[in-house]
Amino acid sequence: MWQAKVTRLLVLGAQRIEMAVTERGSIASGSLVERSLSPTDESIDDVLGHVRAMWPVEIAASGAAHQEDWVVLISDRWLRWLSLPWSSNLSQAQSAAVHCRQQFAVAWGAESMESVFALDDAPYGEARLSVAMDLSLMDGLSSLARDMGGRLVLVQPLAVASWHWARRFYGHQNVIFTVAEEGEMTMFLAEAGRLRVAEVSGGPGLSPETVLRRHALRDPVWAEVDRGCYLDLGGMSRWDVSALSWEAVVAPGDEGNGFPRALSLAATAAPSSLDFVSRLRPRSLMRRGVLALSVLLAFVMVGMVFRNQSKMEHLEAELAARRVVIASAPSASDQRSEDARVDGANEAIRKLNVPVTRLLRAVQPPKDLRIALLGLDFSEATAEKPVLRITAEAHSSADMASYVGYLGDTRPFFGAYLVRHERTGSGESRPYRFSVEAPWKD
């Protein structure tokens, strides 16, 4: 629990904003301020504007002066979740940020590129749960806290704070954990005390039983967990969970302190790897450095394109000259040497003509397949048999097989063949690492 003398609590919920302050570990009486949000039409700028507008009212109500620390909990309405198969790219903070950005762009669309990411601290070789939030929201919260004389010490998904509270009752047991908030439901698979998979299931149209059955068909691990619980932050009564025999988690604030449950959770929140105030978010100077490096790399790539184009034109001119300028009849050894040089030039031109951009677009897996691309190898391709070798990891054998079939049906490929596969790491959730050869034609 945060021990600062004065801490500002802020909850950006699915349909409400809640704000209060704590003094010496307890929510200050009279400091609560609430505002309802539209279910569909509230942008991030709107939400930040509401928070800023609530500030003077809250100060007058609480009598508090400048706040030292801000603790912010974010509803899943403003977040995106993804379980990433283990990859060596996740071992370092900078490469992990790049890897997250690529994987979220494939699963959620290009808008995920402008996001800040958090990763759980899964053991080496295991899949890692990740969450993304729009960078504009994170920057807006930082600016807001700074303008109000405070600093962000914790920005965390509301669901993570909910599990931190519920885990004290379940320890390291395997359990299906569900958070209900204003009619929205997020279901997690928790193994050994760690959230492993998140499934945001939307509004009340789907029952928890239907959602659970759907996930169990997709991933058998869900069907193997026979215990479930839920934390009701509002609206759980819309669903009937009697058939599932789930247990209701006693929420903070149920002791009768008069404050909303989500805000009471914020008062108990603790640091977590799934926190946006973390190593994966570059600080301002680092972000400028990354941007400068990106611009430099862009110039380098443009230079490489022009250099390759020049080289290709030179090779083509050399071949044309060799065809036009015919010397006196060469000896057999000279002819073999000349043929070898021509073949080498042809091979260099072929490699420069590889449709890299088109192939990179074609190998991207569909959003419903949990596939992580590890490497692409063009070295085995020949003029007679242009082939791409792909190394990847899959969450399951079904995802692996589906991806191979997908490649075979995707142009410019005309078939795909699984040439090698193995399970890496330890435990039942080990990913499948595999290699695929996919020939193509322009």
Q: pLDDT band at 4, cuts 50/70/90? A: very low
Range with the poorest average pLDDT among 169-183, 252-266, 277-291, 345-359 = 277-291
Residue 327 and residue 361 share a domain: no
Could you identify the residue written with the tokens 């993570």? 160
C-alpha 174/C-alpha 176 separation (Å) is 7
Q: What is the mean pLDDT of residues 83-89?
A: 85
What's the domain count of the chain?
A: 3
Q: Indicate whether 2 pLDDT > 50.
A: no
Q: Indicate whether 346 pLDDT > 60.
A: no
Report the first-to-last Cα separation within the chain, whole angstroms.
61
The tokens of 368 are what? Answer: 């419903």
Range of the domain at 430: 356-439
Q: Over pLDDT 90: what percentage of the chain?
A: 10
The reply to whether 222 falls in a domain is yes
Q: Which CA distances in Å does 345 have to 6, 32, 134, 176, 340?
A: 72, 75, 49, 61, 9
The reply to whether 1 falls in a domain is no
CATH number (domain holding residue 396): 3.30.1360.100
The tokens of 357 are what? Answer: 């951009």
C-alpha 361/C-alpha 376 separation (Å) is 12
pLDDT at 105: 85
Residue 389 and residue 361 share a domain: yes
The tokens of 46 are what? Answer: 């709107």
Other CB atoms closer than 10 Å to residue 259's CB: what's the count? Answer: 19
Could you identify the residue written with the tokens 């060799």? 322
Q: Which of 9, 165, 149, 6 is nearest to 73 (CA)?
A: 9
**Of residues 393 and 196, more confidently modeled:** 393
Q: What is the mean pLDDT of residues 54-69?
A: 55
E strands in 234-386: 247-248, 371-377
Residue 302 and residue 271 share a domain: no
Among residues 255, 281, 307, which one ends one of the domains? 281
Instruction: Name the β-bridge partners of 390.
Output: 376, 436
Residue 253 and residue 302 share a domain: no
Residue 338 and residue 301 share a domain: yes
21-30, 56-65, 126-135, 378-387: which is most confident = 126-135
C-alpha 216/C-alpha 212 separation (Å) is 6
Tens of pLDDT along 136-189?
Answer: 999 999 988 888 888 899 999 999 999 999 888 888 888 999 888 876 788 888
Residue 434 and residue 327 share a domain: no
Tens of pLDDT along 278-322?
Answer: 643 444 444 555 555 555 665 666 566 566 667 777 777 777 766
pLDDT at 263: 87
Among residues 249, 281, 313, which one ends one of the domains? 281
Could you identify the residue written with the tokens 């945060």? 2
Residue 84 and residue 225 share a domain: yes
Q: Indicate whether 66 pLDDT > 60.
A: no
* Beta-strand pair 247-248/387-394: unpaired
The reply to whether 406 falls in a domain is yes
Q: Which CA distances in Å does 283 have to 68, 138, 259, 296?
A: 20, 12, 34, 20
73-82, 276-285, 340-349: which is most confident = 73-82
CATH number (domain holding residue 218): 3.30.420.380
Residue 266 and residue 328 share a domain: no
Q: Name the strand (E) or helix (H) holding 358.
A: helix 356-363
Indicate the average pLDDT of the chain: 78
Q: What is the mean pLDDT of residues 63-75?
A: 74
Q: What is the mean pLDDT of residues 35-40?
A: 77
Residue 348 and residue 365 share a domain: no
The reply to whether 336 falls in a domain is yes
DSSP 385-428: S-EEEEEEEESSHHHHHHHHHHHHTSTTB---EEEEEEE-SSST
The reply to whether 321 falls in a domain is yes
Residue 139 and residue 273 share a domain: yes
The angle formed by the CA atoms of residues 100, 105 and 107, to the nearest 5 degrees, is 95
Instruction: Report whether 169 contacts 228 (CB < 8 A).
Output: no
Residue 115 and residue 220 share a domain: yes
Could you identify the residue written with the tokens 């839920």? 230
334-343, 381-390, 432-441: which is most confident = 432-441
Among residues 233, 261, 281, which one ends one of the domains? 281
pTM score over 0.75: no
The reply to whether 163 falls in a domain is yes
The reply to whether 229 falls in a domain is yes
Could you identify the residue written with the tokens 């020049």? 310
Q: Which CA distances in Å does 282 have to 93, 246, 291?
A: 9, 41, 11
C-alpha 142/C-alpha 70 separation (Å) is 10
Residue 258 and residue 393 share a domain: no
